[in-house]
Homo-oligomer: A and B are copies of this chain.
Amino acid sequence: MADDDFRPFRDGFRWDGVDLLAYKEDGAAPFKAITRQVLFAEAGMGCELRYFEMAAGGYSTLERHQHVHAVMILRGHGHCLLGEAVRPVKPYDLVTVPPWTWHQFRATRGEPLGFLCMVNAERDKPCLPATDDIARLRSDPMIAAFLDGVAG
């Protein structure tokens, strides 16, 4: 067995042999207080499994893309925007982000929010919302409250 085939979990949602990374390498997209850890990115596997964690009040980028996200909440409570729905989320809830669906996660509960995200190893780049996309989303009061960080 190679040394890295078994990677124990450590306090603070860290793992032996897993680096704590910036959320995105491209700093142009808006986000806040969120980190990324790549748990599995194996040669020959069609997908990667990543762990993202927001500090209280943090959020992921509001974006959409062709590729699908398969998400399981792992730590804490918060909210997610998926398409036109804002949902509270708790540990082990499952969220499927279909192609070209606006989505964002927010740590709205005064605690960290962490989730697993399975994604194709080869995928397209996310698209950010244009001004009219934001206006359309904000026409729903629940989504407006979510985007203003006052959901729930």
Query: Which A positions have Cβ atoms within 8 angstroms of B?
Result: 1-2, 4-9, 13, 15, 18, 39-40, 42, 44-47, 49, 67-68, 70, 72-74, 82-85, 87, 90-99, 101, 116, 118, 120-121
A6 touches B95 (CB 8 A): yes
A5 in complex: contacting residue of B45, B47, B83, B92, CB < 8 Å: B83
Can you list 25 A-B pairs, Cβ within 8 angstroms, ordered by A?
A: A1-B82, A1-B85, A5-B95, A5-B97, A6-B82, A6-B93, A6-B95, A7-B93, A7-B95, A9-B73, A9-B92, A13-B92, A15-B94, A18-B94, A40-B70, A44-B67, A45-B46, A45-B47, A45-B118, A46-B46, A46-B120, A47-B120, A74-B92, A116-B116, A118-B118
